A and B are shown apart, each in its own frame.
Chain A
């Protein structure tokens, strides 16, 4: 399914960002990542390939129970073939479309620079791509 996304802006984009981090935090709580802190997990996520990121996000959508307003905010940035936001047609959305919509927006958040860490904090984590550019 090819989905079109609206620019991530406005108040709803902040609620959507909360939803994105809820999803990641939920995945971080899985046994595989329990040993790492959220900041480190977030940097690991940022350094993953898009395919790996999508895999993580699919786990998040499958296992993390998100708040309704977060889901609605995320889906307000996804439009169908007729340009109607998913959030305007929630009752008739199929689970597959909801999942794909959530992942598409979350991938966009993964691409853009909306970090939870300051530049100083990023330098602490050797996995970060930003640290490789940092002066030694």
Chain B
């Protein structure tokens, strides 16, 4: 597979050792804070520069927009957020390619913040933060 496609993947969360299906996932956005940077002295004479890494202290931020979560799972995630427990995210594509995050925290309280008559109003956004994220393409 060259690219992950949302509609060819199954998504789940592992909470307290049990894996739960996310039946409706609208989008997944992963932000990687780590950047390899280049700098040099302000005199501007050296054109090779010095390499350094920025953002090592910051976690990956994984934003999962989901909808129509079963109430029982919603309440479980709320409890996980309150107790600052760790969860895993698992995404698997039809060809076995995977996206995985481990030891993540739920960064924001799971809640339905918008109410109107659009489909987006049913969204619940889960924001995960983790230092362990990995993609394997097959």
Question: Nearest Cβ distance between residue A95 and chain B, in whole angstroms?
Answer: 15
A47 on the interface (CB 8 Å rule)? Answer: no
Are the C-beta atoms of A82 and B12 separated by less than 8 Å? no
Asked if A91 and B21 sit within 8 Å, CB to CB, the answer is yes
Of A80, A81, A88, A92, which one neighbours B70 at CB under 8 angstroms?
A: A88
Q: Which residues of B contact A89 (CB under 8 A)?
A: 18-21, 70, 73
Which chain A residue lies CB-closest to B75?
A: A83
Asked if B16 and A84 make an inter-chain contact with CB atoms under 8 angstroms apart, the answer reads: no
Whether B21 and A82, one on each chain, are in contact in the complex, defined by CB atoms closer than 8 angstroms, is no
Q: Which residues of A contact B19 (CB under 8 A)?
A: 89, 92
Q: Return the chain A residue nearest B21 by Cβ.
A: A91
- Given the known interface contacts A91-B10, A92-B12, the answer about A84 and B76 at a Cβ–Cβ threshold of 8 Å is yes
Chain B residues lying within 8 Å of A80, measured Cβ to Cβ, are 18
Please give the distance in Å from B74's CB to the nearest CB on chain A.
10
A82 touches B16 (CB 8 A): yes
Q: Is the interface of A mostly helix, strand, loop or mixed?
A: mixed
Instruction: Give the total number of A-B pairs whose CB atoms are below 8 A apart.
Output: 35
Within 8 A of B (CB), among A83-123: 83-85, 88-92
Give the size of the chain A interface in residues (CB under 8 angstroms): 11
How many Å lie between the Cα of A15 and that of B21 in the bound state?
24
Contact between chains at A83 and B76 (CB < 8 Å)? yes
- Alpha-carbon gap, A64 to B10, bound state (A): 30
Smallest distance from the beta carbon of A6 to chain B beta carbons, Å? 11
CB distance from B69 to the nearest CB of A (A): 9
A89 to B10, CA, bound (A): 13
Whether B44 sits at the interface, judged by CB under 8 Å, is: no
A84:B17 contact, CB within 8 angstroms: no
Is B105 in the interface zone, CB < 8 Å from A? no
**Which of A82, A85, A88, A90 is in CB contact (< 8 Å) with B15?**
A82
- Collect the chain B residues with CB atoms within 8 Å of residue A83's CB: 72, 76
A88 to B19, CA, bound (A): 12
Q: Are B21 and A84 in contact (CB under 8 A)?
A: no
Instruction: List 20 other contacts, CB 8 Å, given A91-B10, A92-B12, A92-B19.
Output: A80-B18, A82-B15, A82-B16, A83-B72, A83-B76, A84-B18, A84-B20, A84-B70, A84-B73, A84-B76, A85-B72, A88-B20, A88-B72, A88-B73, A89-B21, A89-B70, A89-B73, A90-B21, A91-B21, A92-B20
Give 17 pairs: A residue, B residue, CB < 8 Å, sorted on A: A81-B16, A81-B18, A82-B16, A82-B18, A83-B76, A84-B18, A84-B70, A88-B20, A88-B72, A89-B18, A89-B19, A89-B21, A89-B70, A90-B21, A91-B10, A91-B21, A92-B12
